[in-house]
Amino acid sequence: MLEIQALHTHYGDSHILRGVSLTLGAGRALGLLGRNGMGKTTLIRALMGYLRPTSGHAKWLGEDITARPPERIARLGIGYVPEGRGVFPNLSVRENLVMSARAGPGGRREWTFDRVMATFPRLAERLSHGGQQLSGGEQQMLSIGRALMTNPKLLILDEATEGLAPLIVAEIWRVIAGLRATGLSTLVVDRNYRQVLAHSDDAVVLEKGLIVMQGPAAALDPTELAQRLGV
């Protein structure tokens, strides 16, 4: 489904990604791990068209999407929940969701407004609230719900539990587990590597823009993981 080949990126003179290659199959969950500043968000931004790679390619369903604009990539069936949530503060919960609603590739409409409400009952109680009136956890639920309203084939979650209370964190992981069970492909970035591995089929560890560990999530060496991730 997703194939990244020898991707290199730069910010000015800084060489960030250094030949990253990975694949993600249909219905699979991939965990993207690494300490802060190791290139995880840069990789996602390059994939989503916000950053133009220096060299290398990203392919989606066999089609080269390298450096296409973000809006065109999103319409191919890739949903993105960015770090920082990115909700529209002056729009209501309902408006945030409805403005992103569309059929997915092939006209798929598996994720309807009602289904998102059933997944996030807390949002159903706050439909008229503005984005700025929500708690951090509610904003994260709204960000995930908004991405699901695009009916994606792949959902990318960048630090979906960052800064949230433990009960909300548990709820977000429950939702991620449920999405995975539906067969939706996921790419998850999170500081809690144990939870990432528990909700992933495969995992990749980035260190200074290089892949230093890669393979089935359950098979990665826990001692080396702890050393690489500084935990």
Task: Quick: pLDDT tens for 88-146.
Answer: 999 999 999 999 999 988 888 999 999 999 999 999 999 999 999 999 999 999 999 99
Are 102 and 148 contacting, i.e. CB atoms less than 8 angstroms apart?
no
What pLDDT is attached to residue 104?
86
pLDDT above 90 for 224: yes
pLDDT > 90 fraction of the chain, expressed in percent and rounded: 89
Task: Quick: pLDDT tens for 45-85.
Answer: 999 999 999 999 999 999 999 989 999 998 999 999 998 88
Task: Quick: pLDDT tens for 13-37.
Answer: 999 999 999 999 999 999 999 999 9
Are 176 and 186 contacting, i.e. CB atoms less than 8 angstroms apart?
yes
CA–CA distance, 29 with 1 (Å, rounded to integer):
12
**For the whole model, what pTM was predicted?**
0.93
What pLDDT is attached to residue 77?
93
In degrees and rounded to multiples of 5, residue 15 shows phi and psi of -90, 110
Domains observed in the chain: 2-229 (3.40.50.300)
Tokens of 61: 């369903």
CA distances from 123 to 126, 130, 138, 164 (A): 5, 11, 7, 16
Q: Which residue has the tokens 């991707």?
A: 7
Q: Average pLDDT, stretch 35-40?
A: 92
CA–CA distance, 66 with 24 (Å, rounded to integer):
16
The SS3 assignment for 85 reads coil
**Region for residue 37 given its phi and psi (left: phi exceeds 0; alpha: psi -120 to 50; beta: otherwise):** left
Task: Quick: pLDDT tens for 170-220.
Answer: 999 999 999 999 999 999 999 999 999 999 999 999 999 999 999 999 999
What pLDDT is attached to residue 106?
84
CA–CA distance, 185 with 1 (Å, rounded to integer):
9
Q: Exposed e or buried b for every residue in 109-138, given b needs 16+ CB within 10 A? A: eebeeeebbebbebbeebeeebbeebeebb
What pLDDT is attached to residue 231?
60
